[in-house]
Structure 1
């Protein structure tokens, strides 16, 4: 009987793993690279590969200090393996998604047992956030895997007394810093410090193999930063650490999201369906849970997981800039805690997970592919290649409201050539990178209206709703609409042999506000 049960469990684990692999790869070749985030990563890796420079990220021919190097290396490797394609761009996010599920299973197995591990892995791998991130061309699945590995290695060293595992924690911290930045060292360190204080084991800090650990950390995580400083000096330091880390923590990039309940909503939606199922089960078992709290019947492992999950959410809630993916490192401990809690409901867990996997598969083709097409310049780039075989100048006419420029980098990625952003000469100084502000993101090329070549065809990409503004701005030019979708229009223009008036420049500036 025991052998039969063991075989059944192995079959369940294998089936669950296959389901995860199928889900994370399904439709990846059809999902267009989207704006505004995915396209920055994809175009940067494409330009690095073309230049042969695998050290300094670059985009539009300019050095780009937004993120560290590791995720770009993933994309470059995938482009070399599979060609520059959507499937290649989404390959390593899919790989690390599977690794995150396996990591959840491994740690839950170390803490509890195989049944808890299976339930926890199923929970982690069937959340809405997992489904989204497994398809997204962003750093998060790689970052989450390394971040979680830091804390797993720490806890296993702490519990077992095998202190060489602390060195492994430093190693993974180096990879985390190489993927996301200083947060990969600061936040795991804060979590383990609070946990040791809660458990009154702060003296364990003295046994964490600091000398070999920091040596490994500096080699793995610090070497690229040192090379970048030697190559680019304070420009790299000011932009990477100043704008993309310090400013992001201090000043909200999207002010509407800087509210106290932001990550509570993210948990409810991102951890669904399990967030609502767990809350319902807590309500049903409230008396039992209150008794456990009064009697302090919680294991060391449960306390560690709880501290981990809570501090990740509190830390990012205190940051001014908020993104839906920031608290994903809390999902592994939440999945294990929820897995332990829902273990008596194993059958329910399997059925709900199966239903959601079917739902996700349907959504990939019915919703995700069409939505990605809408958020991408793939079709616009294809139209440009057909309309412009002679390589005439192509420019973009975007919306400059709220100090942000509406510019589709994905069009450049698919088109294969830079596309300048049209702007008035008097406005150039207001959008150029420089100083401690969000203009650091404006690394796309610019072209002043006054400098547009005359009496030669120019293709202008314009948001369809802004076409009247473009016509007003270029009232004296010959304009011909040559391509149109629900949100994008391509206009073929021939500029007259004279300078555009400052009056028109000012009028459009007011109209666009």
Structure 2
């Protein structure tokens, strides 16, 4: 590929990953937990033991909190700061993919693999989100990429990078950072009957490197916090998550199938024929080469592993995008425009038309505060026109046209859909009102869903209020999802009965509040679904 092509590619990547990051508010309930924990790390000066609401918080290892806290130290407590390192690691993951594709295949495959990852829906979303997955993606992918480079080349020093990556993945997400890549490597060695390679894998020195990087923080936490750390971190956030569903409605067999069809769009339509040609050649079945076997195992084991976990999150299978992008990039590089059947282009066009229609419908129905919906419609129509024009004039540019369509559509969705939706799922406006109206009050009661983002933005202590009969079930208990309830809480009736106490009540919970508060309160204000009342 030409230098000009690569220059355009990296400029597009920078634009997609960093544009509007300062306009996307910190949302509840996931992003705000990470952001508030990192903020308290900076404010408290304790960079060892993560805290939230002034309480020790053992849901994740420390590495992502360090990065987010560092972002806050550099840029202040802003949205851009919180999203800075996820975007940086999104860019790093893209660079790792391209570098790996050049090592494993060639420059053309690297370019197409990069296009697939850059323009896929999930890469775009996760690389702009205040969550651990962009960082895990980079280290998880590095473990497996450098394993295969060590396995397939005489350069056995690659294995040291594998061990270092596993240690940093473990500091980012926990035991899954080395257990799941280890399972993939084990099964690959079993399938290919390559056990002799174990002797070359620097087991002793590599394991020592892994322990030097990954173990000290865990030992420090066990020394400082003992059972409180091991029971919460290993018990609740690892063992319980794997065996007891946190969101039972998502525990269905097709969950990750649907997730990954969307995650890889607009390239997911090529997966069936890509996989088919890996196993069929000239009308007969064939065994794929070792590299293809490794990439297929990588993707399949990630998919099956998380499909069989009780708790499911959309982002869990994100690591399979790395091998999927390599497989699809190679397929596109070899087959070229021949992969674009009429059926695929029709599916491609219908999908964007449905997305654009959904945006307009949300605006029309008042379901979400979507802005400039006509920009989304115009982008979709212009992009579809571009794809079909290229198909008619010069088919060899079809891949670039589809990628450009995805890129511009994603960019159009940020200000028109993502920014207003982040406002809908954030407590920032409530926090600013509380700051302006009650600057002297450090503590405010809250009844309804708990917006951690309001704590992040306001710096105030928000006390969750509960009826007397709900308090016992709410108290945090070991090996239970209630262990996540570490925010301050109080009994509703006694708190609301204190003169001059300010209480924020969620609009949909107002009737329950009136039924349980058993006291008269004066309405003091209203903000986007929240009432502010005062005794």
TM normalised by structure 1 equals: 0.89
Going from structure 1 to structure 2, the CA distance change for 1:324 and 1:413 (only over 3 Å counts) comes to same
How far apart, in 1, do the equivalents of 2:283 and 2:169 lie?
Answer: 35
The runs of at least 4 aligned residues of structure 1 exceeding 4 Å deviation read: 285-289
Superposition deviation, residue 394 in structure 1: 1.1
**Which residue, out of 337, 345, 348, partners 2:398?**
348
Say whether 1:364 aligns with 2:414: yes
**Which residue, out of 150, 175, 185, partners 2:178?**
185
How far apart, in 1, do the equivalents of 2:415 and 2:70 lie?
Answer: 27
Going from structure 1 to structure 2, the CA distance change for 1:314 and 1:288 (only over 3 Å counts) comes to closer
**Which residue, out of 193, 206, 217, partners 1:200?**
193
Gaps of 5+ in 2: 338-395
**Which residue, out of 222, 225, 238, partners 2:231?**
238
How far apart, in 1, do the equivalents of 2:187 and 2:279 lie?
Answer: 24
Say whether 1:388 aligns with 2:429: no
**Which residue, out of 479, 485, 491, partners 2:522?**
479
Alignment of 1:274-353 (within 5 A): 274-279=267-272, 281=273, 290-291=280-281, 294-296=284-286, 298-343=288-333, 344-345=336-337, 347-353=397-403
Asked if 2 retains the 8 angstrom alpha-carbon contact of 1:32 and 1:376, the reply is yes
Going from structure 1 to structure 2, the CA distance change for 1:73 and 1:292 (only over 3 Å counts) comes to farther
Say whether 1:374 aligns with 2:415: no
Deviations 1:375-425 (A, max 9, x none): 000011011112213316411101xxxxxxx31100100010110100133
Gaps of 5+ in 1: 1-5, 399-405, 495-513
Say whether 1:463 aligns with 2:513: no
How far apart, in 2, do the equivalents of 1:469 and 1:195 lie?
Answer: 56
Deviations 1:445-484 (A, max 9, x none): 0011243274532222222122122222234313315113
Going from structure 1 to structure 2, the CA distance change for 1:183 and 1:217 (only over 3 Å counts) comes to same
Structure 2 counterpart SS, 1:420: strand
How far apart, in 1, do the equivalents of 2:23 and 2:413 lie?
Answer: 13
Name the residue aligned to 1:417: 460
Asked if 2 retains the 8 angstrom alpha-carbon contact of 1:477 and 1:493, the reply is no
How far apart, in 2, do the equivalents of 1:162 and 1:92 lie?
Answer: 31
Going from structure 1 to structure 2, the CA distance change for 1:367 and 1:212 (only over 3 Å counts) comes to same
Deviations 1:172-208 (A, max 9, x none): 1000000000001100011011111111102212321
**Which residue, out of 36, 40, 46, partners 1:43?**
36
Superposition deviation, residue 349 in structure 1: 1.9
Asked if 1 retains the 8 angstrom alpha-carbon contact of 2:279 and 2:288, the reply is no
Superposition deviation, residue 84 in structure 1: 0.7
How far apart, in 1, do the equivalents of 2:279 and 2:143 lie?
Answer: 30
How far apart, in 2, do the equivalents of 1:294 and 1:236 lie?
Answer: 55
How far apart, in 1, do the equivalents of 2:34 and 2:169 lie?
Answer: 17
Superposition deviation, residue 54 in structure 1: 0.2
Aligned length: 475
How far apart, in 1, do the equivalents of 2:178 and 2:225 lie?
Answer: 23
Name the residue aligned to 1:437: 480
Alignment of 1:2-41 (within 5 A): 9-41=2-34
Say whether 1:222 aligns with 2:265: no
Moved more, 202-211 or 42-51: 202-211
Asked if 2 retains the 8 angstrom alpha-carbon contact of 1:393 and 1:457, the reply is no
Cα root mean square deviation, aligned:
1.7
Name the residue aligned to 1:490: 531
How far apart, in 2, do the equivalents of 1:266 and 1:239 lie?
Answer: 29
How far apart, in 1, do the equivalents of 2:398 and 2:251 lie?
Answer: 36
Structure 2 counterpart SS, 1:491: strand
**Which residue, out of 87, 90, 103, partners 1:97?**
90
Going from structure 1 to structure 2, the CA distance change for 1:328 and 1:239 (only over 3 Å counts) comes to same
Superposition deviation, residue 210 in structure 1: 1.0
Superposition deviation, residue 277 in structure 1: 3.9
Asked if 1 retains the 8 angstrom alpha-carbon contact of 2:279 and 2:287, the reply is no
